[in-house]
Amino acid sequence: MKVLNFGSLNVDYVYSVDHIVQGGETILSSKREAFCGGKGLNQSIALARAGVPVYHAGAVGTDGQMLLDACKENGVNTDYIRTLPVPGGHTIIQVDAKGQNCIILYGGTNQMQTEESIDAVLSNFSEGDYLILQNEVNLLSYIIDKAFERGMKIVLNPSPYDAQLSGCDLSKISLFMLNEIEGEQCTGVSDPDAILKELAAKYPGSATVLTLGSKGAFYYDGKEKVFQDIFKVKAVDTTAAGDTFTGFFVASLISGKTPAECLRIAAKASSIGVTRPGAVPSIPTIREVLADL
Ligand code: RIB
């Protein structure tokens, strides 16, 4: 069984600010740093640091060497990452004094997948292999359809939620990993219980992990329901907390752990991640997570 993550790779430009800038306002930032990020890359690195070998597929641009280096340093396979002669994906992230962030995303090469490049990647995978997806690459619907035809198990983190997702056949998803905002966007209901029930009714056979920020996280597969509280810490930067959670949950599931064990490991991993700045640099290793669990 192989694990493929077809997703974004971004250079995150992180500006430290007192508060998130308001419309019409100009503020001075105290620091600017460049980190490796992108929901796709963050989740691949979380899987790798959780001990699961992963192939990453996607595209970087002329500024993407640091992203490829991060993959290699963490043991993420880069055979299916193309380098294109144009600027790659990047973000402008403000992090305020409380560790909260807001993000402007430039898609760049993440939005340059083609049907041919997708077919070429998927031809290396088959029934029972896992595919992890987020919503920062184009042709998501095509990727889902083709991977499903091959019998792959598809995990979808529908983030950031936008119109592309309404064109996807979500009945082909085995596991949804989402937060309460994305849960409401997918189902039209806002109560966590109602989101879980709605997804289970709409997509029987799928399971859902619903994260609720400081209120913990639920797993529900239509029969078994599990709740996990947060591990309380002082956050300095919440960027990639959700990606760390997703990577560690999926890695634990693939390693044969129960949903309750998976949730506990994922919650611990993301609680460590938010105490550190940046996306990729903040993601802990499984050794750090288990040492304090
Ligand atoms: O989830 C965090 C990520 O979202 C950042 O690393 C940024 O690149 C955006 O994709």
Categorize the per-residue pLDDT at 47 as very low, low, confident or very high, splitting at 50, 70 and 90.
very high
Residue 99, pLDDT score: 87
Point out the ligand 1 atom lying closest to the alpha carbon of residue 93.
Answer: 7
User: How high is the pLDDT of residue 167?
Assistant: 96
- Indicate the pLDDT class of residue 175, thresholds 50, 70 and 90: very high
Q: Does pLDDT of 10 surpass 90?
A: yes
pLDDT of res. 38: 98
Average pLDDT over residues 156-176: 97
pLDDT score of 76: 98
**By the 8 A CB rule, do 127 and 152 touch?**
yes
Among 8, 13, 33, 42, say which to mutate for ligand 1: greatest number of ligand atoms within 8 Å of CB: 42
Question: The pTM is what?
Answer: 0.97
pLDDT at 145: 98
Q: What is the mean pLDDT of residues 62-77?
A: 98
Q: Domains plus CATH for the chain?
A: 3-9+37-87+111-291 (3.40.1190.20)
pLDDT at 64: 98
pLDDT recorded at residue 130: 98
CB 104 within 8 A of CB 92: yes
**pLDDT for position 243:** 98
- 275-281 mean pLDDT: 96
Give the active site residues. 243
Report the chain's mean pLDDT, rounded to a whole number: 97
Ligand 1 pocket test, pick from 5, 8, 9, 10 with the greatest ligand atom count within 8 Å of Cβ, gives 10
Q: Per-residue pLDDT averaged across 141-161, rounded?
A: 98
Ligand 1, CB cutoff 6 Å, lining residues: 8, 10, 12, 37-39, 42, 91, 103, 105, 136, 239-240, 242-243, 279
Q: Per-residue confidence at 144, pLDDT binned at 50, 70, 90?
A: very high
Q: What is the mean pLDDT of residues 116-130?
A: 98
Provide the percentage of residues in the chain whose pLDDT is more than 70.
100
pLDDT at 292 over 90: no
Burial 35-66 (b: 16+ CB within 10 A, else e): bbbbbbbbbbbbbbbbebebbbbbbbbebbee
